[in-house]
Amino acid sequence: MNIDLNAYKTFYLVAKYKSFTKASQELFISQPAVTQTIKKLEDQLNIELFNRSTNGKITLTAAGKVVYYYAEKIFNLALANKIVLEQAREASFEVINIGVPTHIGAFYLANYLKKFNDKYPNIKFNIINKRSDEMIIMLKKRELDVVIDTNMDDYRDDLISTIKILDLNSCFVCSKKYKNIASKEKIELNELMMYPLILPGETTSNRKIIDYKFKEKGIILKPLIEANSSSISRQLIIEGIGIGWMIKEFVQEDIDKHILYELNVDFEQVLTPVSVAYNKKFNHDIIKKFIDIFKQDND
């Protein structure tokens, strides 16, 4: 005899809820389909499984109670098997390789890694810090699982998908050496150009944004120092080597402690979008769950 596990599942739910309607709702099929499945099962077993009263109530027959006992075991075994397989798939994925620049990872990523680690303590993290274009190439080669960086929409294509997670604010900051200019209520852009500037590297998204904004004003930026590392830029600014353009969240603590000073430049607020990028064609369940922790905070 061929055993139709779906038929036993349908029978189990009808018996559990004492209702053909509730069983159909849980199974996402029509009530007539449930009724037909039960009828086929009764014909196959050559027994009646339910007593049907004139008021529409159903109860298990003596034979039905025996079948229900075993159907419940089959259903619970199938459920346990599904859970075991899900956990096995998660366990087989040991490391999430994350590409993220320092100026984002330093203040933003740690909280989300902790949230994920609390739920999935067996998953390890490998964090890579490279240029955006290099990390995208690694993502396409499946050397990285996700990339968290600014302006990821520029890299969207048939293989790469992105989800925006936040906007970052940028600002000009300086050390005590330039406190005189920092104390001004408003600093004109031409006046700012008289000072040595420390800017992100030309290929970085944050630099491209500020270059574009200054070109709109007819100004070409000529920095004293270009650095792809926010940590290096921060230290150079603290040492008084020049005035720097930084992600505000990255230096907010320095501003609060008066280690650095934010300049009131006559310049509109610049918001930089940050997104999670992932490979559409290789998106393991555990990666989807990792991405979900960012989505949940931004829905």
Give the pLDDT confidence score for residue 257 in this predicted structure: 94
Give the pLDDT confidence score for residue 92 in this predicted structure: 47
Residues 81 and 104 occupy one common structural domain: no
Residues 173 and 31 occupy one common structural domain: no
Contact assessment for residue 104 and residue 58, using Cβ atoms and an 8 Å cutoff? no
Give the pLDDT confidence score for residue 3 in this predicted structure: 65
Give the pLDDT confidence score for residue 226 in this predicted structure: 93
The whole-angstrom separation of Cα 228 and Cα 230 is 6
Residues 6 or more apart whose Cβ sits within 8 Å of residue 208: 151, 202
Residues 265 and 284 occupy one common structural domain: no
Give the pLDDT confidence score for residue 173 in this predicted structure: 95
Residues 259 and 182 occupy one common structural domain: yes
Question: C-alpha angle with apex 82: 81 to 88, nearest 5 degrees?
Answer: 85
3-state helix, strand, coil in the chain (%, to 5): 50, 20, 30
Residue-range definition of the domain harbouring residue 250 = 168-271
- Residue 198: CB atoms within 10 A of its CB come to 23
Give the pLDDT confidence score for residue 261 in this predicted structure: 94
The interaxial angle of helices 285-298 and 62-92, nearest 10 deg, is 90
CATH (domain of 69): 1.10.10.10
Rounded to two decimals, the pTM is 0.57
Contact assessment for residue 262 and residue 173, using Cβ atoms and an 8 Å cutoff? yes
Residues 247 and 263 occupy one common structural domain: yes
Amino acid at 226: E
Residues 86 and 203 occupy one common structural domain: no
Compute φ and ψ for 243, nearest 5 degrees. -95, 135
Compute φ and ψ for 227, nearest 5 degrees. -140, 130
CATH (domain of 241): 3.40.190.10
Residues 131 and 219 occupy one common structural domain: no
Residues 253 and 172 occupy one common structural domain: yes
Residues 117 and 243 occupy one common structural domain: no
pLDDT tens for the chain, 299 residues long, are 556 778 888 888 888 888 888 988 888 899 889 899 889 988 888 899 898 887 778 899 998 888 888 888 877 777 666 655 555 555 445 788 889 887 677 667 888 888 888 888 878 888 888 888 888 889 888 889 889 887 777 778 888 888 888 888 889 999 999 988 888 889 998 889 999 999 988 877 778 888 888 998 899 999 999 988 888 999 999 999 999 999 888 899 999 999 999 999 888 878 888 888 888 877 677 888 888 887 766 55
Give the pLDDT confidence score for residue 106 in this predicted structure: 63
DSSP SS3 for 174? strand
